[in-house]
Chain A
Amino acid sequence: MKNQNKPRYLLTLIMLVLSIGLAQAQENDEDILDMSLEDLMNMEVTSVSKKAERLQDVASSIYVLTADDIMKSGATTLHEALRNVPGYWGVQTSYSNVYSSIRNSTTENSDPGTVLYLLDGTPIQDLMGSVLSFQNFDIPLDEIDRIEVIKGSGGTVYGANSATGVVNIFTKNPEKYDGINIKAEGAAPGYAAVSVRAGGKISEKVAVSGYAKYRYFSGWESMAGKDEDGNSTSITTAFTENYDESNYYSWGAKLNFDLTEKSKISARLHHNGYQQNVYTSVFDQSFLLTRDDDLQYTEVSANRTVANVRFDHSFNDTHSLFVRASTNIENDFYRGGGGMNISNAIYDFEIQDNLSLGQYNDLSVGINYRIVDFDVHNIKSTDYINYVDPQANESIKGAFVQNKIKLLDTKLNLVLGIKAENYSLVNDKYYFSPMAKASFIANKNITLWGGFTQSYTTPGFNSTNVNVFLLQTPTAVTQLITKEVYDIAYQQAINAGADDATADATANAFIASEAGQAAIQAETRNQGVQNLAAKNGSETSPSKFQTWEFGIKSHLGDKVQLNATFFKTYITDGVSANPGAAILIDQKSITDDRVTDYYLYGNYVSGESIGTETVIKFFPMQGLIFEASHAWSETTWEYQENRDFDISGITEDPTPSTPFMPKHVFRLKADYSFSQGFNVTASLIQTSAFWTESNYYYDTERYPTLTEESLPPATTSPTVVAKNSGRTIVNLRLEKKLLNDKISLYVFGNDITNTGNVSDTDNIRNAATLSRIGAMYGAGLNYRLK
């Protein structure tokens, strides 16, 4: 590995950062004057400090989705709100299930895992693949105060799995809560959501808030027994239960308690759950004979709890500290490999000290310790997928130091920092994520920024100790081949003069012997029906992302605001499967004693991502705002030197022919507030083509196995469904406010040009069914009681 444990290197950097900070210490604290009025309006009054803004404002591509933006988007899910963010994209496999990414399009059959999701500062990543399970997350969207989406690396501050982005969800502060709100909305087809929220100060020192929400969705149109166009097929469907309907609930409570003028404690608790019927698929030992999967049905009832307690102390205006404990506990049904229950949890503890050394230096030092509990149980088919250690306990240790330095009369700003992190699930090494960024405020209208960051993405549980069979030798075939070998051994014994009983014993002894088993295995291989499975390679370590970014933030007159970013990311030790055929032959399975050929996945690819993000806001007249954006991002991959196979002579290109994330996404939005409390918002999203398609066998209602192409053709040919293409999404919303804004009435249409797409077809996680996504038309009411 290129990254070694180098404590002296870290110490040197820390001393360098500290020394620069001390050398530049001066007095002053008015550096937010260069922010635009619009930026100021997006900030909470009590969180204004030069430090708070400058981390974002100096040298990062950040898009803030405000509560107002979310409300006007008409979104009914977190994903629908986020898809308005330039640079973000999520591929839907159903209404609520999304695989999302920022600035990273993966190789085939791997999780992006490079975008960190936080709820009030607590990581809410799924530990299996280091992605957010959108399915198992819900919250009243109007409980969200803002979502800060950092495009690019956040590794120096946020640590692992923030290599290409951070989605930071902040809920409303109980101290500044917007009273008591009741909200109800409904839409066709079959969507309903009700929520109640209340909060505020109950005494001089104590503020509390709470919320509860219920959401129901019927699904668009069931595809059970139908083809992609919705026409009935002649097949009697096996999907007899309703798998489109889903129920969601969430509730939460928050507390702020001012212990003294300088100390306060805050606590946040969020809980959500969902119920849905889920079909999954297992390719068991009869698959090769029947060419049909083994359908699994599960009535899923899942939930998530996110909580944190935090103590803040301000020593003085220039020195503050916080101590924070948080947890994310996820009980869910994981759909991979036919499905299994997971009860995974993190328990995180962190301390951070922030010290301002005059106007020009903001120094932050922090440590964190995280316990990670994996608990995989009730695996539907343990002879199809299994884990070496399904109940594991791991830890992450981290420390960081960062200094923000302002030079040239605050026109030149530098941010230097480094984080060291160790993840015991992977190895005992420390991985360093340094950052050096700069911004130059040319004048009040133009800020130029750029810099370098390095981040790591730790592999999920699925990339460390899973054993999943891709093809299993049919039991009947094994019996036949065994019989053949027996017959040969028996005949040889008879030919040698043995009687029947002796020949039988000799043949049985041969079959039981190592040589006999080798003969059976060789004949099995000769017939092309040997066990095939996948496991991780000899080493699966964190993937490294090194990003160079340059950007401009500008105001062109008082009517136009332009932000543009260019980035280039170099990726090493990316995770993919090996190309070609299985590369470990005749291995004992890592979870049972079957003789198996293995495909491996490990740090086999390196890559480059390149792209731009451009956002233009135009304020042509009173109450009218236009926003146009374009995000370009593409990732190319190649095989890299590794311990498991020789890459010379490999011609296979690991870059998918169509990317999983669209290369180009254009967005247009118009927001017009006019007289009598009316507001109308319209948005258009247009993407280039991205990967959604898969073959589908209508007769057996299944997707292919990953090794289907190497098998004898099935009796019927598959059909390509959900063909790769771009997406056009049009959303409309009209709102009328009444009674001094206490009542808000609105109608909305989401994705209104969608006449019924078959959603992304994921033949690993969503193995059994076609699913449809489509348009939604609805209306809602928000009543602010107080």
Chain B
Amino acid sequence: MLISTLVINYSAQAQESKFKALFIYKFSEYVQWSTTPSPMTVGIVGTSDVKDKLESFAASKGNMQVISINSASDAAKCQMLYVPESEEKNLSLYTSFINKKSILLISDNSSKVGRGADIGFFLEAGKLRFKIDKNNIESKNMVPSSKLLALGQSIN
């Protein structure tokens, strides 16, 4: 009873952004890069509520920095790159630039997984889920943990 009732009535959109930020934050713990960056740099393309949330998490824990990305070449500064729905039209620019660089590309759209994105979000019965492209991630010299692969929907 109390578990379900101690809920602050955030707007659904804000909650979704917060959740995506949480997932992105967690992804950094489930992927190995060839060299362990410290702090981890996460780029957010364009403007997104996810950036604010992720920044607050990063400030709280101190092991991550969050930067805005305004051009594809800026992505070189990141280990993870998040492309929100509003920037989906430019996704191909980023996938082309990243190519085989060890940058984990996370999209708002799960249908982009297999088409350049390594991980893509989707909602299922109110819960956040993600698809994952193991082969693409490994081809970029990163190693996704088996737990991450077990929890996500693999397309391979």
Whether chains A and B associate is yes
CB of B145 within 8 A of CB of A320, answer no
Q: Mark B1-19, 1 if CB is under 8 A from A, else 0.
A: 1111111111110011011
List the A side residues contacting B95 at CB < 8 Å: none
Q: CB < 8 Å: which of B4, B125, B156 contacts A178?
A: B125
- Per the bound structure, the CA–CA distance linking A624 and B27 in Å amounts to 19
Which of chain A's residues have a CB closer than 8 A to the CB of B29? Answer: 37, 444, 558
Distance A48 CA – B154 CA, assembled complex (angstroms): 25
The stretch among B35-43, B54-62, B97-105 that forms the contact with chain A is B54-62
Tell me whether A158 and B1 are in contact (CB under 8 A).
yes
B60 proximity list for chain A (CB < 8 A): 28, 30, 33
Q: Are B146 and A49 in contact, with the CB atoms below 8 A? A: no
- State whether B126 touches A619 (Cβ < 8 A): no
Contact indicator B8/A41 (Cβ below 8 Å)? no
Is A41 a contact partner of B149 (Cβ separation < 8 A)?
Answer: no
B89 interface contact, C-beta 8 A:
no
CB A411 to nearest CB in B, in angstroms, measures 12
Chain B residues in 8 Å Cβ range of A175: 12, 126
* Cα distance A350–B127 in the bound complex, in angstroms: 29
Partner of B126, one of A37, A173, A352: A173
Number of residues on chain A facing chain B (CB within 8 A): 64
A296 at interface, CB cutoff 8 A: no
Q: Scan residues 18-47 of chain A and give those whose CB is less than 8 A from a CB of chain B.
A: 28, 30, 32-33, 36-38, 40-47
Min CB–CB distance A405 → chain B (angstroms): 15
Q: How far is the CA of A118 from the CA of B7 in the complex (A)?
A: 18
In angstroms, Cα B56 to Cα A30, docked, is 8
Number of inter-chain CB pairs below 8 Å: 156
Q: Which residues of A contact B15 (CB under 8 A)?
A: 45-46, 48
Please determine whether A622 and B134 come into contact, CB atoms closer than 8 angstroms. Answer: yes
Contact yes or no, A559 B2, CB < 8 A: no
* Smallest beta-carbon distance A349→chain B, Å: 13
Query: Quick one: which of B136-152 are within 8 Å of A by CB?
Result: 145-151
| Residues A354 and B5 in contact, CB atoms below 8 Å apart | yes
Q: Does B23 contact A (CB under 8 A)?
A: yes
A168 to B4, CA, bound (A): 10
A264 in contact (CB, < 8 A): yes
Cα of A178 to Cα of B126 in the assembled complex, Å: 8
A40 contact set on B, CB distance < 8 A: 19, 22-23, 26, 128
One of B5, B30, B124 near A37 (C-beta < 8 A): B30
A158 to B4, CA, bound (A): 12
Which residues of chain B come closer than 8 Å to A177, judged between CB atoms?
125-126
Q: Are A43 and B127 in contact (CB under 8 A)?
A: yes
Check B150–A625 contact: CB distance below 8 A: yes
Within A148-185, which residues are at the interface with B (CB < 8 Å)? 148, 157-158, 168, 170, 172-173, 175-178
- A55 contacts which of B3, B124, B126, B150 (Cβ < 8 Å)? B3
A51 near B146 with CB under 8 A, answer no
Q: How far is the CB of A408 from chain B (nearest CB, A)?
A: 15
Enumerate chain B residues within 8 angstroms of A675, measured Cβ to Cβ.
156
Rounded to whole angstroms, the CA-CA distance of A40 and B130 in the bound complex is 12
Give the complex CA separation of A312 and B30 in angstroms: 37
The answer to whether B145 touches A170 (Cβ under 8 A) is no
Asked whether any CB of chain A lies closer than 8 Å to the CB of B25, the reply is yes
Contact of B147 among A67, A145, A314, A558 (CB under 8 A): A558
B123 CB–A CB distance under 8 Å: yes
Supposing A51-B8, A52-B3, A52-B6 touch, asked if A623 and B30 sit within 8 A by C-beta, the answer is no
The reply to whether B23 and A46 form a contact with Cβ atoms under 8 Å apart is no
Q: Given B8, B18, B146, which contacts A622 in the complex, CB threshold below 8 Å?
A: B146
Whole-angstrom distance from the CB of B133 to the nearest CB of chain A? 12
Residue in A closest to B8 when the chains form the complex, CB atoms: A49
Please report which residues of chain B, range 55-110, place their CB below 8 angstroms from some CB of chain A when the two chains form the complex.
Answer: 56-57, 60-61
The interface residues of chain B lying within 8 Å CB-to-CB of A362 are 6
Contact with B along A737-752 (1 / 0, CB 8 A): 0000000000000000
B61 touches A178 (CB 8 A): no
Interface: A650 (CB within 8 A): no
Q: A320-B7, A558-B145 are in contact. Are A178 and B56 (CB under 8 A)?
A: no
Specify the chain A residue showing the minimal Cβ separation from B149: A622
Q: What CA separation (Å) do A310 and B56 show in the bound complex?
A: 33
Residues of chain B within 8 A (CB-CB) of A354 are 5-6
Contact bitstring A203-222, B, C-beta under 8 A = 1, else 0:
00000000000000000000
In Å, the complex CA distance between A354 and B7 comes to 9
The smallest C-beta distance from B139 to any residue of chain A, in angstroms, reads: 15
| Residues of B close to A170: CB separation below 8 A | 4
Q: Are A178 and B11 touching (Cβ within 8 A)? A: no
A41 touches B125 (CB 8 A): no
**Inter-chain contact A41/B128, CB cutoff 8 Å:** yes
Q: Tell me which of B56, B125, B126, B150 contacts A624 (CB under 8 A).
A: B150
* A33 in complex: contacting residue of B11, B25, B149, CB < 8 Å: B25
A48-73: CB near B (< 8 Å → 1, else 0) gives: 11011001100000000001000000
Docked Cα-Cα span, A262 to B8, in Å, equals: 10
* Residues of chain B within 8 A of A312, CB atoms compared: 7, 9
Alpha-carbon distance A52/B18, docked complex (angstroms): 15
Choose from B9, B25, B127, B154 the contact partner of A262 (Cβ within 8 Å): B9
A314 touches B150 (CB 8 A): no
Shortest distance in angstroms between A122's beta carbon and chain B's nearest beta carbon?
A: 9
B153 to chain A minimum Cβ distance, whole angstroms, is 8
Q: CB-CB < 8 A to A558: which residues of B?
A: 29-30, 145-148
Q: Which residue of B lies closest to A354 (CB)?
A: B6
Nearest B residue to A368, CB-CB: B1
Q: Name the residue among A30, A145, A264, A317 with the largest chain B CB count within 10 angstroms.
A: A30
**Residue among B3, B124, B148 with max Cβ neighbours from chain A (10 Å):** B3
Q: List 6 A-B contacts (CB under 8 A).
A: A30-B60, A46-B7, A49-B8, A172-B126, A177-B125, A673-B154
7 tightest A-B contacts by CB? A176-B126, A314-B9, A622-B149, A51-B6, A619-B147, A558-B145, A178-B125
Beyond known contacts A145-B125, A175-B126, A558-B30: 13 more, CB 8 A cutoff: A30-B57, A45-B123, A46-B15, A46-B126, A55-B3, A121-B1, A157-B1, A261-B11, A352-B2, A352-B5, A559-B146, A621-B149, A624-B146
